[in-house]
Amino acid sequence: MSSRILNWFKFSSPATFYPLAGKIQKVAAAIAVVLLAIGLYMSFFVAPTDYKQGEGYRIIFIHVPSAWMSMFIYVVMAFWAAMGLVFRTRLSFMMARALAPTGALMTFIALWTGAFWGKPMWGTWWVWDARLTSELILFFLYIGYIALQGAIPDVRRGDRAGAILLLVGVVNIPIIYFSVKWWNTLHQGASVSITKGSSMSTIMLETMLIMTFAFWAYAIAVAMARVRLIILERERETRWVAELAEVRG
Amino acid sequence: MDSIKDFFHMGGYALYVWGSFGVTALLMVAEPLVLVARRREMIRRLRRLIRLQSEQSS
C-alpha cells in the first residue's frame, strides 16, 4: 500500500490517536472558555434589548447554538458510524460513543431553553409543534443509542448495533431542520441561513455566532476527553497503556 | 446597587432567562467534572490492574 494511505490510517489506531486527542482537548477547552466568557459578556452587556421581547430574547444566545449542536453532533456521530462500518476502524465507533452524551445534553438544553423561552413568548412550556416534536425524537434517539450500547455487553456487537441505529435515525435531522417550513406550525422559520445571510441585527448575530463557536469548542473538548476514557477502557490490557506516564505515575 | 438588581430582574424575564442560562451553565460545568472524576477513577483502576498482573507473574 502506498505510504500515503498508510499515513492516513496512522491516526486510526487508538495508541497513536490517544496523545493527539489530548492535545486537541486542551486547545479546544481553552478556546471554549475564552469564547464562552466573551459570548456571555456580549449576550448580556453588548447585545441590545429587543424592541418586542425586551430582555427575554437573550435566551436565543444559548437556545440556537445548543439546537444547532444537537443536530450537528448527531450527523457527526452518524458519519463515524458509517466510517466504522465501512472501514471497520474501531476508533470510529469509539468517537460516536464519545459524542453521544454531549449530543444528548445539547438536545436537552435546546428543549429546556426553548420551553423557558416559549412560556413568556408563546404562553406555553410545550406544544406538539413539528420542530419541537422532532427535536424531542432526536433526544430519544440519543438516549436510545446510549441505552442500546449499555445493554449489549459485547463491545463489538454494541458498536455495530449502535451504528445501525444512528444511520437509521439520521433521517430525523433534515426533518427537524425543514420542519418549520414543511408544517409551518408554531416555531418560527430560520432567521439565519448560509445562503441568504440573516435577518438578525449584526451585533445579535455576532454574539450568537461566538456562542456557537464556543459550544463547538466545548463539544470537541468534552468528546476528546471522553474518547480518551473509552480508549483507556478498551485498551486496558495493552502494554502501551501500562507504559503511559499518567498510569505508570 | 440598583443596577445589579435591575440586571438580575432581566426586564421581568428573570425566571426564564436565569432558568435557561442557569441550567445550561450547570450542565456544561457538571459534564466536564464528571469526566475528570471518571478519568481519575480509570487511572486508579489501571494501576491496580498492573499491580495485580505483576504480582501474579512474579
Domain ranges of chain B: 24-58
CB contacts of A238 in chain B (<8 Å) are none
Q: Model ipTM?
A: 0.91
* Residue of B13, B23, B43 to mutate for A, most A C-beta atoms under 10 A: B13
Give the model's pLDDT for residue A199.
79
Which of B20, B38, B39 faces A112 most closely, judged by CB atoms? B20
Check A113 against B20: CB less than 8 A apart.
yes
Residues of chain A whose C-beta is under 8 A from some C-beta in B?
29, 44, 49, 54-56, 58-59, 62-63, 66, 101-102, 105, 108-109, 112-113, 116-117, 119-120, 218, 221-222, 225-226, 228-229, 232-233, 236, 241-242, 246-247, 249
User: Among A113, A231, A239, which would you mutate to test the B interface (most chain B Cβ atoms within 10 Å of its Cβ)?
Assistant: A113
Residue A114: closest CA among A69, A66, A175: A66
Of B11, B27, B32, the CB nearest to A55: B11
pLDDT in tens, A29-46: 999 999 999 999 999 999
Number of domains in chain A: 1
CA distance A117 to A131: 15
- Residues of chain A neighbouring B46 (CB-CB closer than 8 A): 232, 236, 241-242, 247
- The more confident residue out of B10 and A185 is B10
B16 touches chain A (CB under 8 A): yes
- Indicate the burial class of A215 (C-beta count within 10 angstroms; 0-12, 13-18, 19 or more): buried
In this prediction the pTM is: 0.92
- Residue partners of A186: CB distance under 8 A and separation at least 6: A122, A127, A129, A131, A132
Q: Which domain holds residue A174?
A: 20-187+196-248
- Whether chain A has a CB inside 8 Å of the CB on B43: the answer is yes
pLDDT at A2 over 80: no
What pLDDT is attached to residue A200? 82
In B, minimum Cα distance to A43 occurs at: B21
* Chosen from B5, B7, B9, B16 to mutate, greatest number of chain A CBs within 10 A: B16
Please state, in angstroms and as integers, the Cα–Cα distance from residue A71 to each residue in A76, A231, B7, B10, following that order.
Answer: 9, 25, 33, 30
Coil vs helix vs strand at A152: coil
Q: What is the pLDDT of residues B18-37, one digit of tens each?
A: 999 999 999 999 999 999 99
Does A1 have pLDDT greater than 60?
no
A109 contact residues in B (CB cutoff 8 A): 23-24, 27
Answer yes or no: is pLDDT of A102 > 80: yes
- pLDDT for res A229: 97
